[in-house]
Amino acid sequence: MLIADLFFYLFAAICVAAAFMVISARNPVHSVLFLILAFVSSAGLFILLGAEFLAFILIVVYVGAVAVLFLFVVMMLDVDFAELRSGFLTYLPIGAVIGIILLIELVLVLGSWVITPQIASHITTPIPPSNEVSNIEALGLVLYTKYVYFFQAAGVVLLISMIGAIVLTLQHKPGIKRQSVARQVSRTRDESIEIKKVESGKGL
């Protein structure tokens, strides 16, 4: 237990420090890198809690996709963050008020939060004991049996949203050559080849 406690405090300290550096770093690229470090530390905490699936999802989805996407967007768009931060002091009072309200709400929620001893009896779908199957296997047994239709519906919704985003952002600019497979297949010899008779001594 001593080693587990040491790793918990190590991951927690790194996660809090990285989260603070995300909002305090002047370079946006450094902020994204600190965000990745915070995700990795949070994944370590999930592994210590026995939630391996959440740790894998945090690494694969957030670190492998979302954070890298943020990094590429920041590097490609070359956003002038100095201009965006120019009005920071103007909105500081209202931001401080909203932050204090959120802090009070979090304190009230955490102060009244308790673990119900009978919470295990409220679970509708029985989960096998941990000594029989792993955490990921138990989650898969529940997800692909009782909630399989909801899982497929969520996939369809994500697919439709992805297609909609592509359609909304796709712009056909004039003057850009695009491939037409039908035109390439249906072209004739006369359209593809032009034969010229070059006199002797006048060629290239």
Closest residue by Cα to residue 70 from 42, 22, 27, 28: 28
Q: What average pLDDT does the segment 157-163 reach?
A: 90
- Using pLDDT thresholds of 50, 70 and 90, give the confidence band for residue 17: very high
Q: What does the pLDDT read at residue 126? A: 55
Q: What does the pLDDT read at residue 160? A: 93
End-to-end distance of the chain based on CA atoms, in angstroms? 83
Q: Identify whether the C-beta of residue 70 lies closer than 8 Å to the C-beta of residue 35.
A: yes
Residue 51 three-state SS: coil
Residue 113 and residue 109: Cα distance in Å, rounded? 6
What domains lie within the chain, and their CATH numbers? 1-81 (1.20.120.1200)
Closest residue by Cα to residue 55 from 42, 73, 67: 42
Closest residue by Cα to residue 139 from 125, 149, 152, 122: 125
User: Which two tokens mark 31?
Assistant: 């902020």
- Using pLDDT thresholds of 50, 70 and 90, give the confidence band for residue 117: low
Residue 15 and residue 37: Cα distance in Å, rounded? 7
Q: Is residue 120 pLDDT above 60, yes or no?
A: no
**% of the chain exceeding 70 in pLDDT:** 80
Residue 54 and residue 197: Cα distance in Å, rounded? 72
Packing angle of the helix pair 2-24, 28-48 (nearest 10 deg): 160
